[in-house]
């Protein structure tokens, strides 16, 4: 377990470095289109560093606002607080995570934060209404495992930094389409040819896809590990398996408050699920049927 935590901390820094490099490349290409690669590189580096710091220290608050989560008190939800506090003690956390609720009939939950001391767990009201105690404990234990293993840091950084890459790519494409062609005409014939302009467009298109693939690689494996950790924490795998069954059969996905930038944080994909191979390939989560099968086999 401690090795897994160290690995996740290390991967968090690797993810941040990878995104900074990608942002730097985008900035250099954007600057080249404007006639000053160095300016574009410096600008992108500045934006990347500032945004990385913002993501690290304020990313959780950004995610909570995007999801529509609201803080609740122990007086409002004593049943939920009791489960969170009991599982935090079992997980060995120094203090329990903050508790938030999304007022939505769908069944879903997520955890976020930069470390266990600055973490929170969010559940929907639908989850509280439709799951029994053992099922709810399984879901909270799953999220508690994300917190204990520092998955929350990796997934938070991935969510925020993917947004930066998409933003820069979109800005670069729009700038090129509206002004790049005029700027390219002002360059003399000794400058780089149209094939580099084409390469810049391809990069602007592929960079967000590459960023998304990083996010998917991070999130899918973590779900399986969090399921296993939750089963060990509660010592009752059928509880989480039953909760996932109800989530799978829930006819109301989390649409009103869901955002695709943070979909990978939820215990289950908050958007309508499809069984097509293409959709599964680019899903933020492993197949829920396989997760249930693994839990049933424990």
Residues across the chain: 298
Q: At what angle do helices 78-91 and 194-234 cross, to 10 degrees?
A: 90
Question: In which domain, by residue range, is 123 found?
Answer: 67-152+220-296
Query: Using CA atoms, how far apart are residues 223 and 230, in angstroms rounded to an integer?
Result: 10
Express each pLDDT in 11-43 by its tens digit: 767 776 777 777 777 777 777 766 777 887 887
**The token pair that represents 29 in the structure block:** 């290409």
The verdict on 114 and 21 lying in the same domain is no
Residue 188: the pLDDT is 46
> 47-70 in b/e burial notation, b at 16+ Cβ within 10 A?
bbeebbeebbeebbebbbebbbbe
CATH number of the domain within which 276 lies: 3.30.2010.10
On whether both 97 and 182 belong to a single domain, the answer is no
Residue 75's pLDDT is: 96
Looking at residue 76, the DSSP 8-state letter turns out to be T
In the chain the first and final C-alpha atoms are separated, in Å, by 18
Predicted local confidence at residue 89, as pLDDT = 96
Indicate if 9 and 148 belong to the same structural domain. no
pLDDT at 19: 72
Is 205 in the same domain as 90? Answer: no
Bridge partners for 110 per DSSP: 122, 266
- The Cα 21–Cα 41 span in angstroms is 10
Residue 239 to residue 235: CA distance in whole angstroms = 9
115 and 187 fall within a common domain: no
- Considering the domain architecture, whether residues 141 and 252 belong to the same structural domain is answered as yes
pLDDT per residue as tens digits for the range 102-115: 999 999 999 999 89
Which residues are part of the catalytic machinery?
143
Asked whether residue 225 falls in the same domain as residue 145, the answer is: yes
Check residue 266 and report its DSSP letter: B
Co-location of 269 and 248 in the same domain? yes
Q: Which residues of the chain register pLDDT less than 70?
A: 1-5, 8-9, 12, 16, 33-34, 159-160, 163-164, 168, 172-173, 175-201, 203-204, 206-208, 210-219, 253-258, 272-284
């Amino acid at each position: 377990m401690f090795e897994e935590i160290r690995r996740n901390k290390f991967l968090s820094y690797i993810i941040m470095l990878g995104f900074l490099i990608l942002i730097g490349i985008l900035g250099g290409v954007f600057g080249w289109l404007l006639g000053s690669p160095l300016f574009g590189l410096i600008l992108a580096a500045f934006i990347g560093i500032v945004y990385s710091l913002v993501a690290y220290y304020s990313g959780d608050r950004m995610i909570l606002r995007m999801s529509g989560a609201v803080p609740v008190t122990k007086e409002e939800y004593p049943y939920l607080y009791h489960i969170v506090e009991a599982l935090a003690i079992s997980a060995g956390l120094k203090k329990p995570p903050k508790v938030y609720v999304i007022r939505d009939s769908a069944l879903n939950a997520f955890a976020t934060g930069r470390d266990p001391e600055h973490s929170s767990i969010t559940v929907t009201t639908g989850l509280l209404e439709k799951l029994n105690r053992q099922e709810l404990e399984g879901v909270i234990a799953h999220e508690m495992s994300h917190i204990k293993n520092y998955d929350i840091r990796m997934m938070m950084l991935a969510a925020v930094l993917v947004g930066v890459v998409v933003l820069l790519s979109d800005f670069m494409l729009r700038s090129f389409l509206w002004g790049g062609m005029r700027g390219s005409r002002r360059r003399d014939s000794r400058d780089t040819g149209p094939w580099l302009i084409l390469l810049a467009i391809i990069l602007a298109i592929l960079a967000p896809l590459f960023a998304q693939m990083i996010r998917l690689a991070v999130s899918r494996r973590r779900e399986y590990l969090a399921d296993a950790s939750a089963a060990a924490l509660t010592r009752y795998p059928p509880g989480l398996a039953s909760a996932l069954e109800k989530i799978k059969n829930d006819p109301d996905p989390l649409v009103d408050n869901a955002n695709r930038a943070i979909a990978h944080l939820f215990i289950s994909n908050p958007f309508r699920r499809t069984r097509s191979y293409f959709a599964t390939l680019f899903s933020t989560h492993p197949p829920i049927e396989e997760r249930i099968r693994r839990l049933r086999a424990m």
